[in-house]
Amino acid sequence: MTDQVSMLIVDDEPSVRDPLMRWFVPEGYRVETAANGLEALDKLRDSSFDVVLLDIKMPGMDGIELQQRLKEIDSQLAIIIMTAYATVDTAVQAMKQGAYDYITKPVDPSDLSRLVRNAVVQRRLARENLSLKEGIRSLMSIDEIVGESPQTQEILKVIHTVAETDVTVMIQGASGTGKELVAMAIHFNSRRRYFPLITINCGALTDTLVESELFGHERGAFTGAQYRRKGKLELADKGTVFLDEIGNIGPKTQMDLLRVIETKRFTRLGGNQVVEADFRIISATNSNLEDAVKDGAFREDLYYRLNVFNIQLPSLKERASDIPPLVNHFVRKFAMAMNKPFTGVDPQTMEWLQQQTWPGNVRELQNAVERAVVVGKPPLITLDDIPRTSGWRTSSAPDEIMPLVEVEKRHIQLALEKTRGNVSVAAQLLGVDRATIYNKIKKYCLSY
């Protein structure tokens, strides 16, 4: 144990307390003693202890009553009851009230030593568990979803409601509206929050890769499969699977996914062994899946299975009143990360930011603020700090020479507009793979 173990010995007889203290001190423990219940309670109020050795028979407050009172102060305290007079009744009572163990004096030194060590380990594990849970809770709270508009408030209410259930959720909204953030908020406010949240970007993977990602594979299932690999569904056991860009999965994967949602059983690629996993599914898409269902590109039965609860995320333009709190949130976040003492944005710049349409939605706004914090001089972000290469409201003359990055960005945006947001077709036209287009969409905060 890396930090010092602290112990409280409670016994009315100094001939018991003092030798016991002298026996434990050479272990490196911090040992204190108390002659009665009141003294013990005072000690616990002033200091914390890992373990208490408590005599059951004491004048005034006996060990059983004291144990209860000690637990009220520190419910994680490891209490070992000592008695020279073992009775079943007192033993049962002590254990029912949460004693770690119960020993009859005199006890073998090795037994007491081991008992105390194990009690301390258990206490430390319980505290660590509590601390980790607190950490998880603080990592992702609903505070990450910023906004005062009626739409945002409604979304927050919906998240709270749906998080308490286990229904499948489909989140729909344009690129950059915060679908992943909402999925995280649902997971971390659900009973599954201490278990994994596994994200699969179905858009960035080919059909075979999506299958392998979802179900895993056995060794030799395909070329390059040198080892058995667990799939994301297996890794998400007891947790949540977030399927981003669900509209991009192929027919075979749709069929397999439907079966898995219904049975919670599957086999790895190339394998026969049935794997069982308990997970919740949250999916997201920025395309119109109803149209895809009508066109036969997406299975209707899978659609209804995934869409038990639907959350529509508005574009940033539709909730423009959220722009100031979002901007202030991003300024705080990036200023802290970069250790720059920004206090906010000057009023003129904020007004300008509110007037923009933000086709890339919150992600685009976030990127713009981040870049402004990089180049700007504290304490306020000004218009000069907003990057000119963002390009949404600059128009250029036909023969103007633009940076190559800007050219690429505009051309990809054009391809997406021409193909009505069909990433596969746009990729084909541009002569690149789908994954490349998705990466560029993220990089340039394009809408599609």
Partner 1 sequence: MMLLVTIEFAGEKEIERLRDQLETRFLTKVNVSRPGLDPRDFLDLRRNQYSSSAIVEWLEKDLSTAHSKVLAVTGLDLYIPVLTFVFGEARLNGRCAVVSSYRLDNKFYGLPDNRRLLQDRLLKEAIHELGHTFGLFHCHNPQCVMKSSTYVEEIDFKSSRFCGNCFEKLMKSSELVERR
Distance in angstroms (rounded) separating the CA atoms of residues 11 and 130: 31
Distance in angstroms (rounded) separating the CA atoms of residues 10 and 329: 52
Comparison of 109 and 296: residue with beta carbon closer to partner 1: 109
Q: Of 25-44, which residues contact partner 1 (CB under 8 A)?
A: 25-28
Comparison of 53 and 170: residue with beta carbon closer to partner 1: 53
Cβ at position 162, least distance to partner 1 in Å:
51
Does 23 contact partner 1 by CB under 8 A? yes
Q: Of 98-117, which residues contact partner 1 (CB under 8 A)?
A: 105-110, 112-113
Using CB under 8 A, which of the segments 23-31, 359-367, 403-411, 424-432 binds partner 1? 23-31
User: Tokens at residue 323, please?
Assistant: 């722009």
Residue 415 and residue 405 in contact, taking contact as beta carbons nearer than 8 Å = no
Distance in angstroms (rounded) separating the CA atoms of residues 169 and 307: 6
Cβ at position 25, least distance to partner 1 in Å:
6
Task: Enumerate the H helices of 8-79 as residue ranges.
Answer: 14-24, 37-46, 63-73
Q: Of 113-152, which residues contact partner 1 (CB under 8 A)?
A: 113
Using CB under 8 A, which of the segments 11-19, 263-271, 325-333, 396-404 binds partner 1? 11-19
Cβ at position 379, least distance to partner 1 in Å:
53
Query: CA-CA distances (angstroms) from residue 99 to 61, 92, 128, 231?
Result: 17, 10, 20, 42
Comparison of 5 and 260: residue with beta carbon closer to partner 1: 5
169-172/280-285 β-pairing: parallel
Comparison of 23 and 194: residue with beta carbon closer to partner 1: 23
Comparison of 52 and 281: residue with beta carbon closer to partner 1: 52
Distance in angstroms (rounded) separating the CA atoms of residues 330 and 370: 7
Nearest to 279, CA basis, from 217, 235, 230: 235
Cβ at position 100, least distance to partner 1 in Å:
16
User: Tokens at residue 96, please?
Assistant: 């029912």
Cβ at position 27, least distance to partner 1 in Å:
5
Cβ at position 46, least distance to partner 1 in Å:
23
CA dihedral (282, 285, 290, 296) positive or negative = negative
Comparison of 4 and 382: residue with beta carbon closer to partner 1: 4
Residue 257 and residue 211 in contact, taking contact as beta carbons nearer than 8 Å = no
Does 82 contact partner 1 by CB under 8 A? yes
Cβ at position 38, least distance to partner 1 in Å:
22
The site string for partner 1 over 410-429 (x = CB under 8 A, - otherwise) reads: --------------------
User: Tokens at residue 329, please?
Assistant: 């949130």
Return the amino acid letter for 244: D
Return the amino acid letter for 330: F
Binding site for partner 1 (CB under 8 A): 13, 15-16, 18-20, 22-23, 25-28, 53, 82, 105-110, 112-113
